[in-house]
Each structure stands twice: as C-alpha cells, then as structure tokens.
Amino acid sequence: MSTEDHQPIVFILSDSVGETAEFVVRAASSQFNGGHVQVRRIPYVDDEKIISETVQAAAEVKGMIAFTMVITELQEYLHEEARRWSVPVVDIMGPMLEGLSSLFRRQPKREPGLVRKLDEDYFRKVEAIEFAVKYDDGKDPRGLLRADIVLIGVSRTSKTPLSMYLAHKRIKVANVPLVPEVEPPEELFMVPAKKCIGLIIEPDQLNGIRRERLKSLGLAARANYANMERILQELEYSEKVMKRVGCPMIDVSNKAVEETANIILDMFRKGGGQA
C-alpha cells in the first residue's frame, strides 16, 4: 500500500474553483507533521446530487469535507447529509461572513464566484495598464489595431494621463502624437473611426501649458515648442488628420483629466464598448 493511501483525505466542495478552501486546508494541515493530506476538489457545486455523492465518498474513506459554498440551501443540505453519514464538515467562510456581517451591518450577497470576478477585474486592469505603457506616444503602431480606444492629438493634450486613467477602468488605450513633420502610422487609418478620439485644445491654453513645461525642464520659454505660430501650425495639421480619420473630437481646454475621461467613457459605452 502506498504512502498516499495512508494520507487523510479532505474533500473540498465549492461553488467556485475551490482554491481558497484548498489553501486553508493545506495551511492548517502543515501544522500536523508536515501536513501530508490528500485534497480532492469538487468545484462549481450547484446541486444536491453532487453533495450527496461527495458525502458518501468521504464516508467510505473516513475523510472529511471542507466547503466554501455560500448558497444557504446547499449548505443546509450538506450538513444534513454529513450528519446522516457521520462525516465531519468544516465551513471555511461561515465565521468570516458572520464577522463581516456585524462589521458591515448587512447580510452578504451569497452570490457564488464573486472572488473570481474580482480577480478577473484586477487582471484586466493590470493588462490594460501594461497595454497603455507599451503603446504610449506611438511607440508601436501595431497596438492601435488591438486597442479599445485610440487617442490622437498634439503634444500636451493629456493623451498619456487619459490613457492611464482609462486603463484603471480596464480599457486598453493607445495614443499617437500628431506632428506635422511625421506622417501618422498607416495603422491609424485602419482603426474604426468610432474607436478613435481626437483631442483638441485652445491655442492660448496650449501655449501656457507648453511654457510651463519648458520652465520645469529649465529650458527657455522662447523655444519653438511654445511658439504660437508653431502651435497654430500643429493644431491645424492635427485637425486635418482627425477629419481624415473621421473620428469625434473632444476639446480638452480647461478640462480636468477626469472630466475628459468621463466623456470618453460615455462615448465608449454608447459605441457598444464595455467599461
């Protein structure tokens, strides 16, 4: 008979994947001479038949059951079956739910799989942030075709801050700076117009923003970057590109990043996107 056959068996019943319960079981079993225990996960439990079969299997091998099911009816049925077959049962989430109910002063939702949904949201956010960094400032035009939203505009129209803000809303954003001397990437004209947003700004405000930027870098405010004639040339060129793309435009003059981002989110949702 193998060593494994002598190991105690813990059956895990979960209405999700059962990772939380397995982690707790293994952490606790480590306190018993190395914690050699067999863990058998039964995920996505949603009916009484699975519970009955698991209880009987646990009874046959003199094992125990740990569970993280949150639906009250299934919990009650499990306890009834466990008593009938004399199988020990441990409710892993119950005490914490009771404690948090007192803390929040309301009852839990008892909706299966919420942790998994939270994890999915988290990883989507991380993925969107990494996307925004990778495809910032036109670094790699291939990203334009994979983006949920493409922002275009001249320098200092908040393209990067907007990309990062929207990334935290789980939206993949690429942005492209428009400069008269540089032809926009051909991929830009392959992006559906409704996915592309042009950022425009009043010349005087852009001039002030660029002057402050030069000052912060210790450069002369008279540099071409903040020259009004140059600014007008850039803005005229950028609007020509935007009209060629056929995208909607947002005037970011005197708007906070959050305000512009909310306008973009509203456009994104109306266009069939999800945020």
The annotation places the binding site at 153-160
* Parallel/antiparallel/unpaired status of strands 89-91 and 149-153: unpaired
Contacts (Cβ under 8 Å, ≥6 apart) of 102: none
Task: Report phi then psi at 257, rounded to 5.
Answer: -55, -45
Residue 251 pairs in a beta bridge with 200
Q: How many residues does the chain have?
A: 275
Sequential DSSP letters for 84-119: HHT--EEESSHHHHHHHHHHHTS-----TTHHHHHH
Do residues 185 and 176 lie in contact, with contact meaning Cβ atoms separated by under 8 Å? yes
Q: Which residues are annotated as a binding site for ADP?
A: 153-160
Q: Under DSSP, is residue 250 helix (H, G, I), strand (E, B) or coil?
A: strand
- Residue 216, CA atoms < 13 Å, CB-side half-sphere: 6
**Cα of 6 vs its chain's centroid, Å:** 43
